[in-house]
Structures are given as structure tokens and as C-alpha cells.
Amino acid sequence: MSGEFDYIVVGAGSGGCPVANRLSADPSNRVLLLEAGPKDRNIWIHIPIGYYRNMISPLSWGYKTEPEEGVAGRSILWPRGKVLGGSSAINGLVYIRGQKEDYDHWRQLGNKGWNFEEVLPYFCKSENQERGLDEFHGTGGPLQVSDIRDEREICSAFIEAAVETGIPRNDDFNGANQEGVGNFQTTSIEGRRCSSAVGYLKPIRHRRNLSIETDAMVMRLEFYGKRVTGVIYSQHGQIKTVKVNSEVILAGGAVNSPQLLQLSGVGPAEHLSSLGINVVHDSPGVGADLQDHYQARLVMELNKRISVNDDVNNLVRRAWTGLQYALFRRGPMTFSAGHVGIFTKVLPSSATPDAQVHFIPFSATKIGGDLHPFSGVTVSVCQLRPESRGEIMIKSNDPFKHPKITPNYLSTDYDRRIMIEGLKMLRHVTKSPAFDRYVTREYEPGAECVTDEALLQYAREKGNTIFHPTSTCRMGNDPRAVVDARLRVYGVEGVRVADCSVMPSVVSGNTNAPAIMIGEKCAAMILEDAG
């Protein structure tokens, strides 16, 4: 494709799809949406449990972090969606917004328009909430938000165990208060995934003023002076150029958006010059301030055949699992990456929950690996507001080369303490009578892992990302900020960013819902600024 557009959106993920939808609602706006990956035709995208196989597949960018001392010298796999729908097409479907205090903090940092009261309308606008309309939720929006379709005996037992330890029940983590234990809601409808592409693009794909191009890898932005003039991308081996009259909106996520800015000459000048890139604007914060939630898990072996492991490892039960889904859209194939959740405080100094728990009724050798041959479940904990900061930097001027990803996991005492106390909290819950009666043994890390030092070493050796990178094009008004409060990139004209990379600090929970909110709010600001 060549030609001219009013708006070009780069990345058809959680942020980009809402932007493309809302801008193209005005038939006078010519909008181009570019996605590096293919169309979302893979059947396992739409079956919720398919996240387990698609995280490690050609539908992911296949990023890996640099080996780091903080995680025992390991390089950690970073799945990020490379398909229509982006990471919302391969993620674990959990719908969490974060805490009110997260957004109020953004406003306290000087980001006008981003406190909780000001972002809540965009969360509500995006939602079609199964439970109906109330002060915290919306109906009629593109994003389907639903309750868990199937209760499992072991999941109910885990909830009861948490209550026994003093954690209150909470039926809505996205309501007035986040703290407590309960079932997650998911971005799904009647047993099928609702990605941003399904919700925001599928109903409007025939708009004549909206062009959607897949397998379109954006290589760089073109500038005339400081003004963006177009986009160069590769599609099926051909290099194409498209012109833009108004704005380019980057929505590639915490990895691709800073990478593309750097490739286009916006970033740390010295580093870009060393790679032979012409510097358009010296912006030292591009790629800096990387934040991510880091998790460690317990794996419990059960004394009763009630986990998904048993459904998969038995031929008859496996057949019934498939039949359940085919006939009723129910059963294990509708499961998300978190059935039960806990938000709680593990440090006395915390005013609000500082740790999140995901409980899933199966266990595996590793992320995306084979299920264990025994009846097993997994319960993991991550720190909600990590202090560790990393960076993402290009290693070459070749847009097809992956950037250097350095999260600096567990580099602060606070992050290490959350991990230690979080694992202790998990043990406290799993040893409570309502759950302990189902347990044969703690398979990982095992009963011999007792001391703080041993727990921390286990977290270093076996912990992992929970897939929530943010803040690499951080919003703010300080010298290292990349975008202003209206998501405009400092130092250039006509470029905005609409994804998790703009977060001043990572939200206290899963990041898909906030990314969609950011896309909604970005589109509203663009339309407002255009008059």
C-alpha cells in the first residue's frame, strides 16, 4: 500500500485497536492501521486456553531478556503478541485495572487528566460488562468482560483457605476496593476470547475510511525537520512508504514503541549516533525506566484427581474436555491464566495491596511446557509496584534485529522482600485446612526450602516475568519523560504513543485493560485537539 492518510496507527494491539476504531468513526478521517503480524485466524487465539500454546509460537515476537545476575544468570523469555490484536490475542485474558491510587499517583507526578476519576470513564466506555452497568462498570462497549464460566472444586477450596487466613472475599477486583480473594473476570464472551481486534476491529472492518494492513513491519518514521511526514514499512518483502497529514500514533507496546522511536532518530543521541542513526531529537528517556511484574510460584501435588492435569493426561477425560467446549463452550478450554486471584499486603508498611496472586488449576514443567504427570495446581505471587528499573535499547540500526532487553529484576531490597514475604503468604494459605486437605506435597520449591535466603534463591532461579512490561516511553514533565500528558512525543511534531510504555509507573495488576483505556483516552484527546 502507498498513499496518504490523516492518521497512521502502528500496532494493532490493546492500545492501537481502540485508537483506530475511534478515529475512523468520523468518515472524514482516513486511517491506516499497520500490524507486523498476521491476521488473527489461528483457532487457538479464540479458544481461551490457547494462550498456553500461543505465548510460545510464531504469534509472539519471541523476545528474550539479557542474562542477569538478579535471576541467577538466566535469560528470560518475553512473549509479546505479533498478530492482529497484539498481546490481547495471546495473553491470559485476566481483566484487571489496577488500583485507584495508581492513577492518582500519575496525576500527582504532574500528568493532568490521569487521576482515577478522569480515567474511569474510558474504562467504562471500553466495557461490555456481563454483570451490568454501575458506577465502576460500563455496558455496550467493544470489550466483553465476563465471569469465570466453570467453578472447580480446588479453586473454591483455595478461596476458602485464603478467607481462613484473614483475607476478605472480594467479588469485584475492579470495583470500590481491590483487596481480597475471589475469581478473576476475563476478556471473553460465551467461552471465546475477546481480543482488542475482536472487540474493536471486527465490527468495523468494512469502514471505507479504515485500511488495515497485516504482515506490515514498520521500519522507521520519516521526518522533515521535527515534523513526522510518513512511515516506511516492509510487507511481503516489499518496502513501502505512506504519507501522513496529521499524526502517527505508536501502539507497539513497551518493546516496539521505544525501539521504533530509536530507529527513527528519537532517543539517546550518543547511542543512536554510534549505530549510524541520524538524530532527530535527543531524548534520553526513550527505552529507559522499564518496569515489569516478576513472579515466583508454588506447585502443589494433590491427593485427588481434580486438576486440569488429570483432564489432559487421561484420554477419556481429554475427549470429554473437547466435547464440553464444542457443545457448550464450557470446561477447561475456557480457562484463563488465572482462575482465582488475591490482592493483599505482605509488608506492614504498605497502605494498599503490594502483591498479587494467580491461582490456576493445573501445573507444568515451565511456561508453555508439558503438564506434570500428577494432579497438580499452581499458585504464583508477583510484586505489584516493583522498584527495579531496566531499559530497552536497540543493538543495531536494523529494524528486524531484536533490541537489548534488561529488566534488572530483583535489583532492590524492596522487590526481594516482596518475593520472600509473598512466598511465605502463599504457604500460609496453602497450609490452611480448607486447602491443605487436598495436598499430598509441595512439589516446588519443596518443604526443604525454608529460610529467607533459600526462598529468594528459588525466586531468582525459577521466577519469571508475568508479562507486564511498561514505562519505556514514560509520560511526565521531567527531562527524562518521553511524552506529555496528551501522549505527544517531546521534541517532534505529529507523533503520539498509546500503549503501556507511557505509564509513569506500572499499575498494580494485569496491564491489558489499562492499555485499552490508554488507547481510548488517546483517541479522545486526538479528536479534541483536532477540533
Out of 46, 293, 358, 468, the active site residue is 468
* Chain mean position to CA 20: 19
11 contacts: CB under 8 Å, gap ≥ 6: 34, 35, 36, 86, 250, 251, 252, 253, 256, 257, 499
How far is it, in rounded angstroms, from Cα 176 to Cα 101? Answer: 12
Half-sphere exposure of 26 (CA within 13 A, CB side): 16
Which residue type sits at 27?
P
The cell 476504531 sits on which residue?
A: 21
110 contacts: CB under 8 Å, gap ≥ 6: 476, 477, 485
Which residue type sits at 53?
R
Q: Is 468 noted as a catalytic residue in this protein?
A: yes
Number of H helices, E strands in the chain: 15, 25
Question: SS3 of 326, please?
Answer: helix
How far is it, in rounded angstroms, from Cα 481 to Cα 487? Answer: 11
Q: Is the dihedral of CA 374, 358, 406, 64 positive or negative?
A: positive
Which residue type sits at 45?
I
Which residue, among 41, 340, 367, 50, has the nearest Cα to 192 in the 3D structure? 50
The cell 492500545 sits on which residue?
A: 15
Q: How far is CA 33 from CA 55, 121, 251, 356, in A?
A: 23, 25, 10, 34
Does residue 32 contact residue 214 with C-beta atoms inside 8 Å?
Answer: no
Compute how many other C-beta atoms are within 10 angstroms of the C-beta atom of residue 135: 8
How far is it, in rounded angstroms, from Cα 523 to Cα 15? Answer: 10
Question: SS3 of 387, please?
Answer: coil
Residue 121: phi, psi to the nearest 5? -60, -30
* Chain mean position to CA 36: 18
Beta strand ranges found along 142-224 (DSSP E): 143-147, 180-183, 185-186, 188-189, 192-193, 210-213, 216-224
The cell 498456553 sits on which residue?
A: 52
User: Which H or E run contains 274?
Assistant: helix 269-274
Dihedral, CA of residue 186, residue 191, residue 196 and residue 202, to nearest 10: -160
Q: Are strands 3-10 and 238-250 parallel, antiparallel or unpaired?
A: parallel
Which residue, among 486, 473, 407, has the nearest Cα to 267 in the 3D structure? 473
Which residue, among 408, 395, 389, has the nearest Cα to 474 in the 3D structure? 389
What is the gyration radius of the CA atoms in the chain, in angstroms? 22
Active site residues: 468
